[in-house]
Amino acid sequence: MITRQFGSEVRWMLRRPRTLIGLFGLVLVPIIISFGIWTASDEGEGGGGPPGLGAILQGNGMVVPIFTLFLSLNLLLPLVASIWAADGLAGEAQHGTLRGLLVAPVSRVRLLFVKLFGLTAMSLFAVTLMAVVGIISGTAFLGNDGMMTLSGTTLSTAEGLVRIGLFILLVTFQMVAIGAVALAVSSATEHPLVVQAATMTTIIVFQVLGQFTSLDWLHPFLITTGFPGLIDVMRDPIPWEQIGDSTLLAGCYLLIGTGLAAIRLVTKDS
Amino acid sequence: MTTSTSAPVTAPSKTAVAARTKGLRKEYGSTVAVDRVDLELPEGAVLGMLGPNGSGKTTTIRMLLGLVRPTQGEIELLGRPLPEGAEQALPHVGALVEGPGFHPFLSGRENLVRCAAFEPLLPRKEIKQAVEDAIERVGLAQAAHRRYRGYSLGMKQRLGLAAALLVPRKLVVLDEPTNGLDPAGTREIRKIIGDLHAAGSTVLVSSHLLSEVEATCTHVAVLHRGTVVAQGELTELLQAGGSALQVITPDVETALSALRQAKISARPLGDGLRVELAGTSAPQVIETLVQGGARVFEATRWKTGLEELFARLTEAEEAERGMSAVDTLDGGRR
Ligand SMILES: Nc1ncnc2c1ncn2[C@@H]1O[C@H](COP(=O)(O)OP(=O)(O)OP(=O)(O)O)[C@@H](O)[C@H]1O
Ligand SMILES: [Mg+2]
């Protein structure tokens, strides 16, 4: 029964026009990035000055997916997660379909898990899709001589793929954590836009707060503080400490978000 | 008329109940939506729920379905207490509450498939067939492939009904099912309710169409200002509403004095009199009239219609001032 509900949920999300448009937009990011690097490398050769970004990355197509996800995690991926979370509960309440699900019946806690599953599955799908397109377009534009790490070593293509896989999982987890908090907001309103606005405002405010050294004490609690540390997957060997901290922090957000959403949903009138 | 203080007219029920509420009360902030609702829905009955706008019909239905938590009171649905027993009871309940709710970007059929995926009683293999059957049953076959976004009001309502009928139900709850339907659609709803009744399902239907309720329901419950002011079997309620004799006579004055002497209450009406039959009988009235010297041209038994009963139970004095006010509990207390 639960697998059938999971399946129905994912199918429903995939059928939404805005999901398809969103996925299409996400796929453009790695393509634009590879293209940008490629044109930069052309100019670098012509000018004869210091080697540009493109020159450094020549033959390094494998960093494109990492670079893409790393950039997107700051704004684009939280936005997508917040849209899915918004449609999941607030959107269903707005259309009156939440009532239908509840009298079917789906217990409220289970409904939350169905929503969380949909969010996770779709996040993983979106992030993987971006990475795969990144690998392909990166290789096409820049070539592939293995992955150059930030520590200066070069990994084989197979090892590089493992690193990309790891990064996919880490980024997805951050996205799901943000989505879980967005679900908590989503359970408390009938207006999907409120959910998106609240989530994005929070992410941006967190990033601004992260710039103030006077607020040092606050930084360990901001989920956005954990984002930069994830790039450690590109070091050789991988220093796990920052990655661990970021993931732990995201885990806390996930638990708190899910908990709040469950409490709200169970007592909600609909 | 002070209906809120008078004792509710309640015909006692003998049979098993499909749903029952006790002392139900719901507050929304400072608004009291529903108060002291004791509703009994006998198994196999078709209960028509009547009441002016804002009298608490939808709120009561929502509480019955576990969508809304009552502030006070108990609910029993198909023998299980709510909210604990919701997961056991609700699979057997089909509902259309406060208008249909579907996703605009999916077709009618896809919407039903999504609903079906969440029906515990529907095995995966039977989903497709159940969806087609439901579409057929509500007469939506022509439009099932179109997006819900483009549906007309009546088509939306039909789709909502189809979702309620996906699985054979013990109880079907329909909140204003005829809303927006054409006459043929209204007739079909009547037929669907009849079929459900014949198949042994219990039906709870709220409606503003008194004639529909009179034609389809076995029981009625009338809500007024958040409280049940009358409930029971339709026929019993109508009888309890009192009966009278409509007498056509040209000798109104003679007739009135003759009846007054016999201590029978009557008043002039149209071409004659309306005589209350409380404590007397039709032959006795006519005998009195004839002996008193009044010529009786015609005498007909006057039966209370639902329309009249409803008006008497719910219409407040303010009805003369333009449109009648909405029927909230707070309004009554002001
Ligand atoms: N979510 C809510 N928040 C605040 N008040 C509410 C809410 N739902 C219902 N009410 C109030 O409760 C009262 C009863 O409303 P309800 O919808 O049950 O009436 P109804 O009998 O279904 O009316 P109608 O015939 O118009 O459908 C009204 O005064 C309404 O304003
Ligand atoms: Mg209503």
**Smallest Cα distance from A115 to chain B, Å:** 13
Give pLDDT, residue B2: 36
- Considering the domain architecture, whether residues B205 and B282 belong to the same structural domain is answered as no
The token duo for B57 is 């019909």
- Considering the domain architecture, whether residues B235 and B254 belong to the same structural domain is answered as no
pLDDT over 70 at A112, yes or no = yes
Q: Residue B70 Cα, ligand 1 centroid: separation in angstroms?
A: 14
CA dist list (Å): B58 to A126, A209, B172: 41, 47, 14
The model's confidence at residue A38, banded by pLDDT at 50, 70 and 90, is confident
Give pLDDT, residue B331: 45
pLDDT over 50 at A103, yes or no = yes
Q: Which of B137, B144, B143, B141 is nearest to B192 (CA)?
A: B137
The token duo for B204 is 């709870």
**Smallest Cα distance from B78 to chain A, Å:** 14
How far apart are alpha carbons B197 and B209 in whole angstroms?
19
In chain A, which residues have their Cβ closer than 8 Å to the Cβ of B134? none
Residue B231's DSSP bridge partners are B10, B221
What range defines the domain where residue B189 resides?
A: 17-239
Q: Which of A247, A258, A270 is nearest to A109 (CA)?
A: A258
Average pLDDT in chain A: 90
Q: What is the dihedral of CA B9, B14, B18, B19, to 10 degrees?
A: 40
DSSP E strand boundaries for A34-160:
147-148, 154-155
Give pLDDT, residue B259: 85
Asked if residue A112 lies in contact with residue A119, where contact means CB atoms within 8 angstroms, the answer is no
- Considering the domain architecture, whether residues B128 and B47 belong to the same structural domain is answered as yes
How far apart are alpha carbons A203 and A207 in whole angstroms?
6
Give pLDDT, residue B135: 94
Task: Indicate yes or no: CB of B90 within 8 angstroms of CB of A4.
Answer: no
- Considering the domain architecture, whether residues B213 and B271 belong to the same structural domain is answered as no
CATH number of the domain at B225, please: 3.40.50.300
Residues of A with CB under 8 A from a CB of B: 1, 4-5, 7-8, 12, 15-17, 95-107, 267, 269-270
The model's confidence at residue A37, banded by pLDDT at 50, 70 and 90, is confident
pLDDT over 90 at A10, yes or no = yes
DSSP 3-state of B27 = strand
Task: Tell me how many domains chain B contains.
Answer: 2
CATH number of the domain at B289, please: 3.30.70
In a domain, B196, yes or no: yes
In chain B, which residues have their Cβ closer than 8 Å to the Cβ of A16? 105
- Nearest ligand 1 atom to alpha carbon B330: 29
In a domain, B148, yes or no: yes
Strands B219-224 vs B46-50: parallel, antiparallel or unpaired: parallel
pLDDT over 80 at A61, yes or no = yes
In a domain, B286, yes or no: yes
- Considering the domain architecture, whether residues B92 and B178 belong to the same structural domain is answered as yes
Task: Indicate yes or no: CB of B120 within 8 angstroms of CB of A105.
Answer: yes
CA dist list (Å): A24 to A27, A130, A193: 5, 10, 21
DSSP 3-state of B80 = strand
> What percentage of chain A has pLDDT greater than the value 90?
69
Q: Which of B293, B61, B43, B256 is nearest to B170 (CA)?
A: B43
Task: Indicate yes or no: CB of B115 within 8 angstroms of CB of A104.
Answer: yes
In chain A, which residues have their Cβ closer than 8 Å to the Cβ of B99? 96
**CA–centroid distance for A131 within its chain:** 11
Q: Which of B49, B320, B13, B332 is nearest to B203 (CA)?
A: B49
Q: Which residue of B105, B118, B127 is the best one to mutate when testing the A interface, meaning the one whose CB has the most A CBs within 10 A?
A: B118
Report helix, strand and coil shares of chain A as percent, to nearest 5.
80, 0, 15
- Considering the domain architecture, whether residues B267 and B194 belong to the same structural domain is answered as no
In a domain, B7, yes or no: no
Task: Indicate yes or no: CB of B163 within 8 angstroms of CB of A100.
Answer: yes
In a domain, B325, yes or no: no
Nearest CA to ligand 1 atom 3: B28
How far apart are alpha carbons B328 and B32 in whole angstroms?
8
Beta-carbon contacts of A80 under 8 Å, excluding residues fewer than 6 positions away, are A22, A26, A123, A126, A175
DSSP 3-state of B79 = coil
- Considering the domain architecture, whether residues B196 and B259 belong to the same structural domain is answered as no
Sign (positive/negative) of CA torsion A37, A38, A44, A50? Answer: positive
pLDDT over 60 at A166, yes or no = yes
Task: Indicate yes or no: CB of B119 within 8 angstroms of CB of A104.
Answer: yes
Query: pLDDT digit string (tens) for A175-222?
Result: 999 999 999 999 999 999 999 999 999 999 999 999 998 888 998 899
ipTM: 0.85
Give pLDDT, residue B84: 87
In a domain, B5, yes or no: no
- Considering the domain architecture, whether residues B54 and B180 belong to the same structural domain is answered as yes
Mean pLDDT split into 10-residue runs, chain B, 334 residues: 41 68 90 89 91 90 92 90 88 90 94 93 91 91 92 90 92 90 86 90 91 88 88 79 78 86 81 79 85 86 74 62 61 43
pLDDT higher at A258 or B312: A258
Give pLDDT, residue B254: 87
**Maximal CA-CA distance, chain B:** 79
The model's confidence at residue A21, banded by pLDDT at 50, 70 and 90, is very high
pLDDT over 70 at A228, yes or no = yes
- Considering the domain architecture, whether residues B208 and B96 belong to the same structural domain is answered as yes
In a domain, B90, yes or no: yes
- Considering the domain architecture, whether residues B123 and B270 belong to the same structural domain is answered as no
- Considering the domain architecture, whether residues B138 and B257 belong to the same structural domain is answered as no
Q: Residue B100 Cα, ligand 1 centroid: separation in angstroms?
A: 17
Asked if residue B56 lies in contact with residue B113, where contact means CB atoms within 8 angstroms, the answer is no
**Chain A residue with minimal CA distance to B86?**
A105
Strands B266-269 vs B243-248: parallel, antiparallel or unpaired: unpaired
**Chain B residue with minimal CA distance to A1?**
B120
The model's confidence at residue A154, banded by pLDDT at 50, 70 and 90, is confident
In a domain, B156, yes or no: yes
Give pLDDT, residue B8: 45
Q: Which residue of B103, B105, B109 is the best one to mutate when testing the A interface, meaning the one whose CB has the most A CBs within 10 A?
A: B103
Instruction: Give the H/E segment covering residue B295.
Output: none
Task: Answer yes or no: is the C-beta of B55 below 6 A from any ligand 1 atom.
Answer: yes
Angle between helices A240-267 and A157-186 (to 10 degrees): 30
- Considering the domain architecture, whether residues B155 and B263 belong to the same structural domain is answered as no
Provide the 10 A C-beta neighbour count for residue A165: 13
Task: Answer yes or no: is the C-beta of B272 below 6 A from any ligand 1 atom.
Answer: no
Give pLDDT, residue B329: 63
